[in-house]
Amino acid sequence: MSLIVQKYGGTSVGTIDRIEAVAEKVAGFHHRGDDVVVVVSAMSGETNRLIGLASEIHDEPSPREMDVLVSTGEQVTIALLSMALQKRGCDARSYTGGQVRILTDNSHAKARIQDIDAHRIQADLSAGSVVVVAGFQGADEQGNITTLGRGGSDTTAVALAAALKADECQIYTDVDGVYTTDPRMVSGARRLDQITFEEMLEMASQGSKVLQIRAVEFAGKYKVPLRVLSSFEDGPGTLITLEDDDEMEKPVVSGIAFNRDEAKLTIRGIPDVPGIASRILGAVGRANIEVDVIVQNVAQDNTASLTFTVHRNELAKAKGVLEAVAKDLGATTVEADAGIAKLALVGVGMRSHAGVAATMFEALANDNINIQMISTSEIKITVVIDERYLELAVRALHSAFDLEQCDKSE
Amino acid sequence: MSLIVQKYGGTSVGTIDRIEAVAEKVAGFHHRGDDVVVVVSAMSGETNRLIGLASEIHDEPSPREMDVLVSTGEQVTIALLSMALQKRGCDARSYTGGQVRILTDNSHAKARIQDIDAHRIQADLSAGSVVVVAGFQGADEQGNITTLGRGGSDTTAVALAAALKADECQIYTDVDGVYTTDPRMVSGARRLDQITFEEMLEMASQGSKVLQIRAVEFAGKYKVPLRVLSSFEDGPGTLITLEDDDEMEKPVVSGIAFNRDEAKLTIRGIPDVPGIASRILGAVGRANIEVDVIVQNVAQDNTASLTFTVHRNELAKAKGVLEAVAKDLGATTVEADAGIAKLALVGVGMRSHAGVAATMFEALANDNINIQMISTSEIKITVVIDERYLELAVRALHSAFDLEQCDKSE
């Protein structure tokens, strides 16, 4: 008998039929004797419907009132799922975030969980109930309703699992696990049985949308065993684990993440003196534009160039900021390029294997793919390339690192 | 500067445009310097939509989970109305029933208010905010969400007005006040400037749907001045007051209420011995059927007959119960009649005026309307007649008691 926290997202509870299917799955665990806490999102489409109502009234609705409004979405789902569980003979009780209570700070729309009172849930579990909790929401010290921001339901599930010391936190999604890379792009992409938290973090931050980064960080911090699996079909999914000892046995590379959401900006001909980078990036930051990969180089004429990527939606805004800064600094040119893609090799095994970068660059060179930017960390190598070559590059690397070969234990 | 509690029902907040119109009205009071607490219902149609979702899952959903579900309806409205108020420069804060907190017993779907903590609302009012509260809902001692049952938003408003010692509780509806009788039936029907709580109670219980009985009882008990007025047009509405001292000045009859929701059952030839009525009505009560007007008579042969009315939907069920009881008691016949209407004259003035009943019966006789049942209380005379004559009877009585004549002060 285990204590399991399960999370089902908006697509998994998007219709009455799907809520019934989730109830069927949960009831199976409960009838086998597991203690189950279920975290659910709003039915898909519902949050957008509510945001639409607000936008008819106010261009910039108050964050406090937005939280009151959108938190009703999950509240509808918890009630419906509890009814569907009761129909299957499971005693079930639903709770909003505020009722649990999940205490957060008062940053509406992007609140952070500070504490969870697990007593009420534990009492219900002891009494044989399935407990159904609204994801994505909590309440601050004063009892004001807060929401955790996008993807917050994953975080709710992980935080509850930590507070309850659950045996496993299961995130049910529309994919059956974490893959070596996107299976829609590489037919030989392989589901990983296991991946470490660090690798998962790097994969998530590089565009793998299976799990929210905050939830993975939280799970890593509190050592909650996390499993990603499919709402729609049975299977073991992917277990996200603490780094284990047999690191030597691990393959060098676990997966390849990529995204096309970014654009590249370059400012050239800037005087190569200390503080220049911070003046440029400071101006960008003050405009509320987030910067991702940054590379700086010194040219032969002792001027420097700085290149960085931003979200593609913010390219025009960033270019405006940069042109103003260029004038101030006496820089020569500002270039903007939306046609790029970012690609990253991720793997804990890199730490103990030399030559990964060389193999990567060689594989890309063999296909005549030019590397525009390189950025490395201990378990990740990121490159920026021309967007047109993305599919080719992913397939080349997937093959170069033998990722389609059977599973990790080999 | 007054402290006013206002309540707007589902039709008044049924669309974004109507929510904007309510905000406009509320902002008017706020800008004039009044402290305003607004109680709102779910947007019309929303509660039924939610009940529909539940019914797809469960024939008899758990009352606790139904309350979690349907309470989202008002929560959406409070957020949207607060945003609309903020757009108009009013600081506004929304609260669910549980947040206020409105403490109720734990009878889900028909909870009763036990206590209201007014501190949070008072602090917000002192800070210059309009406070927007979800009607129809509260929370029990354990923090479980409860609802007050149909029409509960009126009760929320009155209870808040009592707790806050408000100067007035204003119930905004789709009519502009309480009328002497239904204006759709009698063109000369007149809006009353004032009516006493007792009269209002009798009017409500006899089918006048302007206010919920529980809210009127509550207002009477806590001496909250209550005003009924229109959401859609300006006007003074009808003030519901404690009985005042110049009762002699009052007209004999304040209004005429009626309804067609009932049906009549008669059981004849029962032995005229003590305890018979309670055996008959006890059996009906155990079948969960509510009985309204009851009349018992003894016939010449020393058998008795008992006639009573029930809601028309329950006629068939009640007839079944009665036939079984008739067999046990050796009664001769059971008759059921769905074609009846109930009609009541209401007026505090009746207390000090003789001959009201005689005038009423004479007016009905003049139009050849046969009276099937009569029941009287201190401020009300109820008759049951053939449904076909209802309009005729209401008009005849409206005229016989001069109700179309100008206002009470004459």
In a domain, A112, yes or no: yes
pLDDT band at B160 (very low <50, low <70, confident <90, very high): very high
* Percent of the residues in chain B that have a pLDDT greater than 90, as a whole number: 59
pLDDT band at B243 (very low <50, low <70, confident <90, very high): low
Q: Hey, is the C-beta of B20 within 8 angstroms of any chain A C-beta?
A: yes
Q: Hey, is the C-beta of A90 within 8 angstroms of any chain B C-beta?
A: no
The pLDDT value given to residue A409: 40
Q: Is B54–A82 a contact, with Cβ atoms under 8 angstroms apart?
A: no
Distances (CA, A) of B244 to B190, B195, B196, B214: 21, 10, 8, 22
Q: Hey, is the C-beta of A149 within 8 angstroms of any chain B C-beta?
A: no
Candidate ranges A236-240, A286-290, B132-136; pick with highest mean pLDDT: B132-136
Residue B347 and residue B252 in contact, taking contact as beta carbons nearer than 8 Å? yes
Neighbours of A130 (CB within 10 A): 27
Min Cα distance B5 → chain A (Å) is 21
In a domain, A379, yes or no: no
At A292, the amino acid letter reads D
Long-range contacts of the stretch B217-221 (C-beta < 8 A, 24+): B218/B155, B218/B158, B218/B159, B218/B162, B219/B158, B219/B161, B219/B162, B219/B169
Burial class (CB in 10 A: 0-12, 13-18, 19+), A408: middle
Q: Hey, is the C-beta of A86 within 8 angstroms of any chain B C-beta?
A: yes
Q: Is the pLDDT of residue A180 over 50?
A: yes
Q: List the single residue in B53, B58, B82 with the smallest CB-CB distance to A65.
A: B82
Question: Comparing A114-118, A239-243, A326-330, which segment has the lowest mean pLDDT?
Answer: A239-243
Question: Comparing A28-32, A130-134, A276-280, which segment has the lowest mean pLDDT?
Answer: A276-280
Q: Is the pLDDT of residue B315 over 90?
A: yes
Q: Hey, is the C-beta of A66 within 8 angstroms of any chain B C-beta?
A: yes
Report the chain B residue with the minimal C-alpha distance to residue A59. B87
Distance, CA of B104 to CA of A168 (rounded, Å): 37
The pLDDT value given to residue B209: 67
In a domain, B242, yes or no: no
The pLDDT value given to residue A348: 82
Q: Is the pLDDT of residue B30 over 60?
A: yes
Distance, CA of A159 to CA of A137 (rounded, Å): 12
Question: Comparing A88-102, B155-169, B179-193, B249-263, which segment has the lowest mean pLDDT?
Answer: B249-263
pLDDT in tens, B345-402: 998 878 767 788 888 999 999 999 998 888 888 888 889 999 999 999 999 999 999 8
List all residues 6 or more positions away from B37 whose beta carbon is below 8 Å from its beta carbon: B3, B4, B5, B6, B121, B125, B130, B131, B132, B133, B160, B161, B164, B166
Q: Hey, is the C-beta of B58 within 8 angstroms of any chain A C-beta?
A: yes
Q: Is the pLDDT of residue A79 over 80?
A: yes
pLDDT band at B410 (very low <50, low <70, confident <90, very high): very low
Convert A189-223 to b/e letters by CB count within 10 Å (16 or more is b).
bbbbebbbbbbbbbbbbbbbebbbbbbbbbbbeee
The pLDDT value given to residue A249: 53
Which of B51, B47, B101, B107 is closest to B77 using CA atoms? Answer: B47
Candidate ranges A284-288, B137-141, B302-306; pick with highest mean pLDDT: B137-141
Domain that holds residue A141: 3-173
How much is the pTM? 0.80
> Average pLDDT in the B270-285 region?
85
The pLDDT value given to residue B274: 78
Q: Higher-confidence residue: B285 or A149?
A: B285
Distance, CA of B208 to CA of B90 (rounded, Å): 35
> Average pLDDT in the B322-335 region?
91
Q: Is A87–B58 a contact, with Cβ atoms under 8 angstroms apart?
A: yes
Which of B401, B311, B295, B296 is closest to B353 using CA atoms? Answer: B401
Distances (CA, A) of B167 to B6, B36, B121, B170: 11, 11, 15, 10
Q: Is B72–A75 a contact, with Cβ atoms under 8 angstroms apart?
A: yes
Q: Is B83–A61 a contact, with Cβ atoms under 8 angstroms apart?
A: yes
In a domain, B312, yes or no: no
Q: 3-state secondary structure string, B186-202? A: CCCCCECCEEEHHHHHH
Distance, CA of B176 to CA of B210 (rounded, Å): 10
The pLDDT value given to residue A274: 78
pLDDT in tens, A181-235: 888 888 888 999 998 888 888 887 655 667 777 888 888 888 999 999 998 888 9
Size of interface A-B (CB pairs under 8 A): 104
In a domain, B262, yes or no: no
pLDDT band at B150 (very low <50, low <70, confident <90, very high): low
Which of B383, B266, B381 is closest to B325 using CA atoms? Answer: B266
Q: Is the pLDDT of residue B244 over 70?
A: no
Distance, CA of A357 to CA of A351 (rounded, Å): 12
Min Cα distance B284 → chain A (Å) is 31
Residue B37: in which H helix or E strand, if any?
A: strand B35-40
Min Cα distance B48 → chain A (Å) is 13
Q: Is B65–A86 a contact, with Cβ atoms under 8 angstroms apart?
A: yes
pLDDT in tens, A333-391: 999 999 999 999 998 878 767 788 888 999 999 999 998 888 888 888 889 999 999 99
| Count of structural domains within chain B | 1
Alpha helices (H) along B296-389: 315-329, 356-366
List all residues 6 or more positions away from A287 whose beta carbon is below 8 Å from its beta carbon: A317, A318, A321
Q: Hey, is the C-beta of A20 within 8 angstroms of any chain B C-beta?
A: yes
Min Cα distance B253 → chain A (Å) is 47
The pLDDT value given to residue B277: 82
**Cα distance from N-terminal residue to C-terminal residue, chain A:** 31
In a domain, B274, yes or no: no
Distance, CA of A63 to CA of A224 (rounded, Å): 31
- Collect all residues of chain A within an 8 Å Cβ-Cβ radius of residue B53: 16, 76, 80
In a domain, A314, yes or no: no
Q: For the packed helices B390-400 and B356-366, what is the interaxial angle rounded to 10 degrees?
A: 130
Min Cα distance B202 → chain A (Å) is 38
* Percent of the residues in chain A that have a pLDDT greater than 90, as a whole number: 59
Q: 3-state secondary structure string, B309-330? A: EEEHHHHHHHHHHHHHHHHHHC
Q: Is B20–A57 a contact, with Cβ atoms under 8 angstroms apart?
A: yes
The pLDDT value given to residue B407: 46
Mean pLDDT of chain B: 89
- Collect all residues of chain B within an 8 Å Cβ-Cβ radius of residue A72: 72, 75-76
The pLDDT value given to residue A246: 55
Q: Is the pLDDT of residue B112 over 50?
A: yes
The pLDDT value given to residue A245: 52
The pLDDT value given to residue A150: 59
Q: List the single residue in A20, A80, A143 with the smallest CB-CB distance to B69.
A: A80
Residue A254 and residue A192 in contact, taking contact as beta carbons nearer than 8 Å? yes
Candidate ranges A101-110, A251-260, A347-356, B173-182; pick with highest mean pLDDT: A101-110
Question: Comparing B47-61, B99-113, B280-294, B379-393, which segment has the lowest mean pLDDT?
Answer: B280-294
- Collect all residues of chain B within an 8 Å Cβ-Cβ radius of residue A54: 79-80, 83
Distance, CA of A179 to CA of B112 (rounded, Å): 54
Q: Hey, is the C-beta of A102 within 8 angstroms of any chain B C-beta?
A: no
Residue A73 and residue B93 in contact, taking contact as beta carbons nearer than 8 Å? no
Distance, CA of B72 to CA of A46 (rounded, Å): 12
Q: Hey, is the C-beta of A21 within 8 angstroms of any chain B C-beta?
A: no
Min Cα distance A160 → chain B (Å) is 19
Residue B120 and residue B82 in contact, taking contact as beta carbons nearer than 8 Å? no
> Average pLDDT in the B28-32 region?
96
The pLDDT value given to residue B241: 85
List all residues 6 or more positions away from A158 whose beta carbon is below 8 Å from its beta carbon: A5, A169, A215, A218, A219, A222, A224, A226
Q: Is the pLDDT of residue A247 over 90?
A: no
User: What is the CATH classification number for the domain harbouring B118?
Assistant: 3.40.1160.10
Residue B114 and residue B103 in contact, taking contact as beta carbons nearer than 8 Å? yes
Q: Higher-confidence residue: B351 or B224?
A: B224
The pLDDT value given to residue A206: 58
The pLDDT value given to residue B31: 95
In a domain, A227, yes or no: no
pLDDT in tens, A9-64: 999 999 999 999 999 999 999 999 999 999 999 999 999 999 999 999 999 999 99
Q: Hey, is the C-beta of A76 within 8 angstroms of any chain B C-beta?
A: yes
> Average pLDDT in the B144-166 region?
90
Q: Is the pLDDT of residue A296 over 90?
A: no
Residue A245: in which H helix or E strand, if any?
A: none
* Percent of the residues in chain A that have a pLDDT greater than 70, as a whole number: 94
Q: Is B76–A50 a contact, with Cβ atoms under 8 angstroms apart?
A: yes
Residue A257 and residue A216 in contact, taking contact as beta carbons nearer than 8 Å? no
> Average pLDDT in the A126-146 region?
97
Q: Is the pLDDT of residue B289 over 60?
A: yes
Residue A199 and residue A348 in contact, taking contact as beta carbons nearer than 8 Å? yes
The predicted complex's ipTM stands at 0.78
Which of A10, A8, A41, A22 is closest to A147 using CA atoms? Answer: A41
Distance, CA of B170 to CA of A369 (rounded, Å): 73
Min Cα distance A6 → chain B (Å) is 20
Residue whose token pair is 């040119």: A333
